[in-house]
Structure 1
């Protein structure tokens, strides 16, 4: 009986191909939207995690001030080199400590110029940020101590100022000073907040302080925790030492922050997952709309085929058989829409992932769920029309014009 119902359902679908397609269009859109949202959301979550990891492994960032609003920090006294050296010497769990300061500047090479970010740091800066050189070298001890005019450039600066030329040995003018390019960093791409991490020039910290800022201030201190050591313990040690150096009494609010990249990664990942779930829920509404469309068309089909139903009942067909016929027809329509939606969703997800520069993360579970849900929609919304067909009076059905 079940196989016969499938055969009859297939014939009904072929008999009205255009109407069948328009009927399942809502299911197609709903299934495709849900799958696309979940796949792209998974890719976005993975990309956020990758970008956070690219900032540095087991990374703690110490910065002056406390957050008083979105993107707003309170005013506080800057750090200095002694603060960084103290952390390097007194916190046992740290693998590397990198003091850094930054200034926006315009870099000029010949007739090309680029507004970029110039960061003063040392070789530990490359270590804590997980940055490797693709060509050239890093700073020597003599260059760092003497504040020599040398620099290491990011991939974006390399591309914009030198195109395909080898920049090693070239000079870049920064304001009234110049620096010799000694190295090029590997490309990292955009950060989780949309900033280009490769748009930078790194010079020795003393060079930045002596030639550009005119002070000994350090804007940030990056601290990388050794693998296997406790990040929480290292963070507590940093907070204790910095409070002592800045003479902050126990119980008073600190005038600095110690940011754990794990917390930032967790927050961004959770936010991305919540947004993905909300978008998926919104997209699933179209599945319900598609289900209502199936119910309406099935009711029309029952009306059109009233005499056929009357003949089947009159020659001995059971109510269960008639009900099964229309229920299977509804399930076939919704399942067909689910399969088309899955095919469209996978193709669209691959295309959109390439455009949005996020990984394509195929999720077999959501594909199965979407297909099962589409079939369930057919059962739920096809039940009422099927029940109505099964309960028709044979005599009245045969009289129907």
Structure 2
């Protein structure tokens, strides 16, 4: 039968405002009657399972590909624990159907999804570690930049610090002041970074149709880490400002 079921992405591309069920689409100049739409799954890596059209395999072989064989078959086990048993069973069945002797090499390949997922997990972990390394280097470089800015600020505001101490400001007051300033700088950078990250995720979703998820928890963690970076790298400039003697500070040119 010339019927088909469309993925969500195909529907969005072909039928923006029209109900797809009941319409006709052409595949290699062969008309197919749309009988359903698949539930949206979302893109995964470079694959987009929503960007597919499903038709009966017999119709595909005869009318679309012009072949009398299938190049690949996907089989799903009822339980992940049964993958190896299912692989063995499929292999034995195909050897029997292809009439392959036990001592002969098969003319087909059976791939276990568990092996693919393990490789994918290793790749994801490597990518995560790479991103983490870049993030750490970026934090250190940004922190050093904040420290340098605050050291310059302490030097330029030496008289101001001396004047504050002369009118009664304690070391702790000066320390807190500069820590607040360094932390504020870091937080501004953190907010900008979070905004760029959210914008980048939206761009990826728009251009490549990958489903991206921005977790509020990671946003909070980023905000806290930014504050800690500001405190850590602002501690030395703040301490340097706090230990200035008011007389020496007022004499500073």
**TM-score, length basis structure 2:** 0.70
* Change in 2 beyond 3 A, CA 1:185/1:322: same
1: distance between equivalents of 2:54 and 2:235? 67
Q: Secondary structure at the match of 1:358?
A: coil
Cα deviation digits, residues 197-223 of structure 1 (max 9, x gap): 756573553883699757x54433443
Residue in 1 aligned with 2:243? 391
Q: Report the number of matched residues.
A: 244
CA RMSD of aligned residues (A): 4.2
Q: What is the Cα deviation at residue 329 of structure 1?
A: 2.2
Kept in 2, the 8 Å contact 1:209–1:217? The answer is: no
Residues of 2 paired with 1:173 and 1:255: CA distance?
A: 30
| 2:30 equivalent to 1:208 | no
Conservation of the 8 A alpha-carbon contact between 2:61 and 2:69: no
SS in 2 for 1:232: helix
Task: Give the corresponding residue for 1:247.
Answer: 101
1:15 aligns to what?
A: none
Deviations 1:111-145 (A, max 9, x none): xxxxxxxxxxxxxxxxxxxxxxxxxxxxxxxxxxx
Q: Give, in angstroms, the shift of residue 398 of structure 1.
A: 1.8
Q: Which has the higher strand share?
A: 1
String of CA shifts for 1:7-39, please: whole Å, max 9, x gaps.
xxxxxxxxxxxxxxxxxxxxxxxxxxxxxxxxx
Kindly indicate whether residue 120 of structure 2 is the aligned counterpart of residue 268 of structure 1.
Answer: yes
In 2, Cα distance between equivalents of 1:381 and 1:361? 31
Deviation at 1:382, TM superposition (A): 0.9
Please say if residues 169 and 182 of structure 1, whose CA atoms lie closer than 8 Å, have aligned partners that are also in contact: yes
Q: Check if 1:232 corresponds to 2:84.
A: yes
Query: How far apart in 1 are the matches of 2:64 and 2:238?
Result: 83
Q: Which residue of 2 aligns with 1:329?
A: 181
Contact 1:235 1:258 survives alignment (8 Å): yes
Shift in alpha-carbon separation, 1:192–1:260, aligned structure 2, 3 A = farther
Distance (whole Å) between structure 1 residues aligned to residue 250 and residue 63 of structure 2:
100
Structure 1 counterpart of 2:151, from 289, 299, 304:
299
Cα distance change on mapping 1:277 and 1:185 into 2, 3 Å: farther
Q: Which has the higher helix share?
A: 2
Distance 1:173 1:369 in 2: 49
Higher relative contact order (CA 8 A, sep 6+): 1
Task: Tell me the equivalent position of 1:348.
Answer: 199
- Work out whether 1:369 is the aligned partner of 2:217: no
Write the distance in 2 (CA, Å) between the matches of 1:309 and 1:211.
81
Q: Give secondary structure in 2 for the equivalent of 1:257.
A: coil
**For 1:258, what is the secondary structure of its paired residue?**
coil
